[in-house]
Structure 1
């Protein structure tokens, strides 16, 4: 691995307690010892205590818990339950929903087919957020628009209509565009971490015929 170019860059790198590899913090999850010597995910990286760093993948977190690597790294007995990876996934999903709510209030999100299609066509969209349980026909149409966007658009489809409605304060939220900018960049950071635990679109979408899912 190449040495970091600057001290600031070096400060952003940590050692994965599972593989021993030194990685950029963006690829890692931080854990700390919580009350009762229980391993606690620190997704915001603000909790006190020594950080225990694990690559942001389900396999990595499961291995760290199963093999007692948190205790080894901390040099003290820590409890890490077999559901720790599930806890991380749940917390990441909540962070992403909360992030959408913040983005809505900041004016970085737009919803509704026509508005989203216009944003896609103008190349203003970083993420196309589709309701997981939306109708295949509507999804096919908006994905066709996304494929023709002058700038690359990523697709996220893990939240249902009800979840999106609660997060965004609306009803029947199916098509949403996260406009390109710093807000989308921050949201992408958590999306990347979640992608180590779950595909970003439902498996059922991949089972649809290309003519029904825009060929994606």
Structure 2
């Protein structure tokens, strides 16, 4: 891909330039926005809305810069209005996409919840990703370790948010098996985690596999 942000050769991951930081990253690591029919900035979390994409790094500082310096309008070469609470809207949409993804994985037998079931999956190496609630007991969470490798731990969701994916009030421990849907959940959760981490809204887990 050229520095301008064009797609790479066939089979390679397309990249785009963040309008706030100027950095070029794979689209899987950026949040896409488009201009709505009324000239407003619209988050396109799924990346499927028509129109020219306006890409921003999933960090509160980058989003605030894009809003405060009117970078959406500059990138679109048109006057766009930014809805009030855009960053909070992005966060809510990311939470929904992540929890919906986990729910779909559960329905296809690719996700389990509960300490014993998760522990069992980890022991037989069925678990590809460990999911633990950000507001769960650190002592309890430390008894389980995520599988080896990067992108094998999600810790940006609360117990009630994980619970939504399993039809329960609260869930502290969950696990995802390998598959294309899991890859999408991990990518979306990474964006949510980056957004929440910068604002201090979610405590990091002390022991992830790639930090040990």
The equivalent of 1:89 in structure 2 is 91
- Tell me, in whole angstroms, the C-alpha distance in 2 between the residues paired with 1:27 and 1:122: 31
The equivalent of 2:42 in structure 1 is 40
Return structure 1 stretches of 4+ with deviation > 6 angstroms.
1-5
CA deviation profile, 1:1-56 (whole Å, cap 9, x unmatched) = 98799533688122322233433212222111113211001111111122112222
Q: Which runs of 5+ in 2 are unaligned?
A: none
Q: TM-score, normalised by structure 2?
A: 0.80
Aligned residues: 204
- Tell me, in whole angstroms, the C-alpha distance in 1 between the residues paired with 2:8 and 2:128: 30
- Tell me, in whole angstroms, the C-alpha distance in 1 between the residues paired with 2:38 and 2:8: 38
- Tell me, in whole angstroms, the C-alpha distance in 2 between the residues paired with 1:201 and 1:50: 31
- Tell me, in whole angstroms, the C-alpha distance in 1 between the residues paired with 2:204 and 2:187: 25
What secondary structure is seen at the aligned counterpart in 1 of 2:195? coil
Q: Which runs of 5+ in 1 are unaligned?
A: none
Map 1:162-177 onto structure 2 (within 5 A).
Answer: 162-170=160-168, 172-177=170-175
Asked if 2 retains the 8 angstrom alpha-carbon contact of 1:65 and 1:81, the reply is no
The equivalent of 2:117 in structure 1 is 115
| CA RMSD, 1 decimal | 3.1
Asked if 2 retains the 8 angstrom alpha-carbon contact of 1:62 and 1:82, the reply is no
Determine if the alignment matches structure 1 residue 28 to structure 2 residue 26: no
* Alpha-carbon offset, residue 132 of structure 1: 3.3
Q: TM-score, normalised by structure 1?
A: 0.79
Change (3 A) 1:97 1:190: same
Give the structure with the larger helix fraction: 1
